[in-house]
Structure 1
Amino acid sequence: MKQLFLFLCTCLALAVSFAAPAQHDVETAVPSEPQEDSHYDAKFDRCEGIEFDAIVPDEKGNTFFFKGDHVWKGFSGPAEHANITFKELDDYHHLGHVDAAFRMHNKDGDAQKDHDHIFFFLDDKVFSYYNSTLEDGFPMEIQQVFPEVPSRLDAAVECPKGECTTDSVLFFKGDEVYSFDIKTKTVKKKVWSHLPNCTSAFRWLQHHYCFHGNNFTRFDPVSGKVEGSYPKDARHYFMRCPNFGHGAGHRKPPCKLDAISTDDTGKSYAFTGNTYIRLDTHRDGTHHFPITRLWKEISGKLDAVFAYGDKLYMIQGSQIYIYKSATPYTLIEGYPKPLKEELGIEGPVKAAFLCANQHVVHVIKGQKMIEIDLAATPRAVKTELPIPITDVDAAICDDDGVKVFVDSQYYVYQSPRILAVSKINPLPHRMSSEKFECEYDSGLQKPILQLPL
């Protein structure tokens, strides 16, 4: 009986050992049904500090920040699943997260059909999207579209002609940078070991940024040179987070201009204090930058700015600076010069403007408008005319006529002559706080029409 009992126990132990897999087998077994990726349901808060996989704007200027299979749209708001906007990327999620992305800049040539398209790179594949729609034939192998560009990239960013020698794309992999010429499809390989390893790159308002960890470093897209104090925390500049901001207690400047002008290339700028803002395009966002960023020789506020030919004239006190309008702005040798020597008038002045295809600059000084023929040699005052408006801050002549800015509002006159002969001011318009990225000062507000500039 005892022997029978031992025999039965042995059989039972063998049965159990064959029926139950080893612990190692349990841990490594592939489940019979696909399990949802735990990362897919992760809740990301970029204000806690995130290293982004890619940052890219679309054709409308909306900026996308990618992390894993999540994306943020714009500089504020929560993350959402990337497949809501770019659904095909999820089909290739097995390749990993988005390695790199950039927005194509190529208005000319055979590839202009790709202008403003977004290109995403996952492992050895490239996807082309326009208006959130995947282009026919994509995804493709990276080398089919971008010959000699390696797979498994770290970052990518566009570099338009003027900022780079030609319309180009910069591809990053470790400390290697591949400069891809869009027109010739040729690549120049560089090594920028001084830059951090860029996990994403972003072009914003004509400047290029390398993102690493939750920081960024601004660099020159041709030389890779870094100027200024970097790295900086991205939460202070590229997203809206509690307890973070561009400078302690940062506020938008008041809606009151010092100068405004458009150069011959179509770039429009408004100047307030020691800062400027770009007006002609908001597709990459709006932001006030120090004047010294584009015009290094100028310190402090400007009194007036106007464009003539391919040059930008910038007046400050009794001095005038003249810059070539080509990117980057270059101060002409011998300047600044006394305003009296250049235009035949004493400073300071309140405003200056030039109408299209004209060579007479109109300078507002006090309550009079001085006309100077820029084509004459030497330049001297042609006419002085009284104007009906006082305390002028800035003025510009565009397709709408002459806009004269006073505090947070502006007046429109059909021509400089009508400005001079008017007996009463037309109805004023309010400056657009969105366009100028400014705040109204309650002490400056007056009953005015709600019309954007």
Structure 2
Amino acid sequence: MKLCAIVPGILLGLLPPLLSYPLIKGRPNDTGTNLFSDPDPAYNLPGMPDRCTDGGFDAITLDDKGVMHYFRGDLTWMGFQGPTQRINETWPGLTGPIDAAFRNHNEKNPLEHQRIYLFKGAQVWSYYEGQLVTGFPRLISEEFPGIPDKPDAAVECHRGECRTDSAIFIKGDTVYTYSHDEKPAVKQRQWAGLGTCTAAARWKERYYCFNGNNFTRFDPVTGQVLSPQPLDIRDYFVRCPGRGHAHGVQQNATLMSIMDRCSNRSFEAFSSDDNSRTYAFRGGVYFRLDSRKDGWHPWRLNHNWRNLDGVVDAAFTYKNRMYFIQGSQIIVYLTDQIYIPVAGYPKTIQEEWELPTVTAVDAAFTCPHSSNLYLIRGNKLTLVDLNTRKCSGEDQTIIHVMLDAAMCNSHGLYLFYGSSFFHYKNVEELLSSKVAPSPGSIASHFLDC
């Protein structure tokens, strides 16, 4: 029979509002068990200045291991609760205060990718794996022609979030975007609406402007302020005694289980897009998988995909578009610099793909460089040609009777059920298999648990 008669899936209940900003900073060895742990006594050593006092920070940046560094005067703090240190203890050859800092993102140039740049006056220092790069310090005008001395703040911008891998420098209300791939290399604009930034940072696809102890989130392309109001850095980015915004969540066991990536609770969808951004969706939140080195954090769906709420049944990408299936409805976003809603959606599955009897799916996936969309319900596999938007061929049976999600990328095809996943080389191997492969742990393989 045609693969056009799909039994509706069961939607989970919607969750209460979730947190919008970092609870704590993730660490490379984070197992997910420290989300609400007690403060480490190292956050304030006797006789040393305290990161939690008024004044904010001169610069903030991630390092090449994904650990956040905070700079104020001649002092620096590493991670969300590390001890106070002198700058030259961590960054040899440099004393404070510094003006700005960022971690370079340039995958086309491995020699510069993941380097840390620290700016002071007319000079810039560059570090990799904790060591000063040969030839530095250099003049800013030599390393970054067209960028003014003594910038107020700097932050890297990744391709897909900006047009190309680039760096954003802020001085007053003037913004300079620097990219080796653009001509001219420097583009200058006015961002008067953003206000003063004494520091800037990127974390988990989000861009933050810091002014004293306050911070706001902004769009790296337009400078538009995305926060409803300024928030205090001491409640979100650093661990301070008596402060924080996560404690109320501990009272909700269901919400805790959803937000704890290592809880072994099942995921409703997985997706990897054309820019290799990989996501796991559970209960109205998502986790970013491909940037795991920068730590982990659950985010509400509408922080990445405007107006998207609730539980996602399936997600996939095709031709720079990301598709979400929720019940019988499809919502589509452009995957250019940011996710932009496509006009005319939501539509029903029947309207989008001319499948008159299809009302819901258990999972869906596309593979790289293919127009084939596969819809899964029970143990049946539906093939839809995304060019013609119609069913293609007959129903095919797979050995898995129940699945939660599916994802296909350059490493193969993954099917997810409960806390386990099953890996196949491709769709052909799945269809020819008589016995399922040995299951793997989603938590350990995908989420570093």
CA shift, 1:384, in A, is 2.4
In structure 1, what residue type is equivalent to 2:416? F
Q: Is the 1:236–1:247 contact (alpha carbons within 8 Å) kept by the matching residues of 2?
A: no
CA distance in 2, matches of 1:216, 1:226: 11
Cα 1:308–1:168 change in 2 (3 A) is closer
Whether contact under 8 Å (1:99, 1:122) holds in the other structure is yes
Determine if contact 1:370/1:382 at 8 Å carries over to the other structure. Answer: no
Give the CA deviation at 1:193: 3.6
Other structure's SS at 2:249 match: coil
Matching residue within 337, 346, 351 for 2:363:
351
Q: 2:90 corresponds to which residue?
A: 85
Aligned match of 1:137: 135
- Residues 65-96 of structure 1, C-alpha deviations (whole Å, 9 max, x = no match): 11222222223332333222211003xxxxx4
From 161, 168, 171, the equivalent of 2:169 is 171
SS across alignment from 1:71:
strand
Aligned to 1:53: 58
1:7-49 per-residue CA deviation (whole Å, 9 max, x = no partner) reads xxxxxxxxxxxxxxxxxxxxxxxxxxxxxxxxx9952333455
AA partner of residue 87 (structure 2): A
CA contact 2:161–2:336 (8 Å) conserved in 1: no
Which structure has greater helix proportion? Answer: 1
The alignment partner of 2:290 has SS state of: coil
Question: What does 1:410-425 correspond to in 2, within 5 Å?
Answer: 410-416=421-427, 418-419=429-430, 425=436
Give the corresponding residue for 1:305. 315
Cα 1:362–1:192 shift into 2, 3 Å: closer
Decide whether the 8 Å contact of 2:371 with 2:386 is kept in 1. yes
Deviation at 1:314, TM superposition (A): 1.4
For residues 230-269 of structure 1, the aligned pairs below 5 Å read 230-241=229-240, 243-246=243-246, 248-249=248-249, 251=256, 252-253=259-260, 254=263, 255-269=265-279
Cα distance, 1:425 vs structure 2: 4.2
Structure 1 position 340 matched with structure 2 position 339: no
The SS at the match of 2:323 is strand
Residue 361 of structure 1 is matched in structure 2 by 373
- State the alpha-carbon separation in 1 of the partners of residues 401 and 297 from structure 2: 30
Q: 1:172 to 1:325 in 2, by over 3 A?
A: closer
Offset of residue 435 of structure 1: 4.4
3-state SS of 2:244 partner = coil
In the aligned structure 2, how far is the partner of 1:144 from the partner of 1:400? 41
Pick closer, same or farther for the CA change 1:290–1:152 going to 2, 3 Å. same
Cα deviation for residue 415 of structure 1 reads: 4.3
CA shift digits 1:226-259 (9 cap, x unpaired) = 1231211223332344541447325324432110
Counterpart of 1:197 in structure 2 is 196
Residues 151, 434 of structure 1: CA spacing in aligned structure 2 closer, same or farther, 3 A cutoff?
farther
Worse overlay, 146-155 or 419-428: 419-428
Q: Are positions 1:62 and 2:72 aligned together?
A: no
Structure 2 equivalent of residue 117 of structure 1: 115
Q: CA 1:317/1:390 → structure 2, altered by over 3 Å: closer, same or farther?
A: same
SS at 2:194 equivalent: coil
CA distance in 1, matches of 2:381, 2:159: 39
TM-aligned CA distance change 1:51 to 1:117, over 3 Å: same
Contact 1:201–1:211 (8 Å) recurs in 2: yes
Cα distance in structure 2, aligned partners of 1:185 and 1:220: 22
Correspondence for 1:229: 228
Corresponding residue of 2:414: 403
Say which structure, 1 or 2, has more relative contact order (CA 8 Å, 6+ apart): 2
Distance of aligned partners of 1:357 and 1:122 in 2 relative to their CA distance in 1, 3 Å threshold: closer
Q: What whole-Å deviation, never above 9, does each CA across 1:129-187 have from its counterpart, x for those lacking one?
A: 22222223322233233334333332111224443345433222333333334455654
Task: Give the corresponding residue for 1:212.
Answer: 211
Secondary structure of 1:287's aligned partner: coil
Q: Structure 2 CA distance, aligned partners of 1:358 and 1:170?
A: 35
Q: 1:356 to 1:125 in 2, by over 3 A?
A: closer
Look up the equivalent residue of 1:274 and give its one-letter code. Answer: G
Amino acid corresponding to residue 77 of structure 1 in structure 2: G
Whole-angstrom CA distance in 1 between matches of 2:212 and 2:273: 38
Amino acid at match of 1:144: E
Kindly report the root-mean-square deviation, in angstroms, between the aligned alpha carbons of the 2 structures: 3.0
What is the CA-CA distance between 1:57 and the residue it aligns to?
1.7
TM-score by length of 1: 0.76
Aligned 1:10-29 pairs, distance under 5 A: none
Q: Offset of 1:342 from its aligned partner?
A: 2.3
Is the radius of gyration larger for structure 1 or structure 2?
A: 1
Unaligned runs of 5+ in 2: 1-44, 251-255
Query: Deviation of residue 420 (structure 1)?
Result: 5.0
Which of these residues, 146, 149, 162, is aligned with residue 147 of structure 2? 149
Task: Verify: 1:317 aligned to 2:317, yes or no.
Answer: no
Residue equivalent to 1:127: 125
Cα distance change, pair 194–375 in 1 and its aligned pair in 2 (3 A): closer
Gaps of 5+ in 1: 1-39, 91-95, 438-451
Counterpart contact for 1:401–1:412, Cα < 8 Å: yes
CA distance in 1, matches of 2:430, 2:164: 44
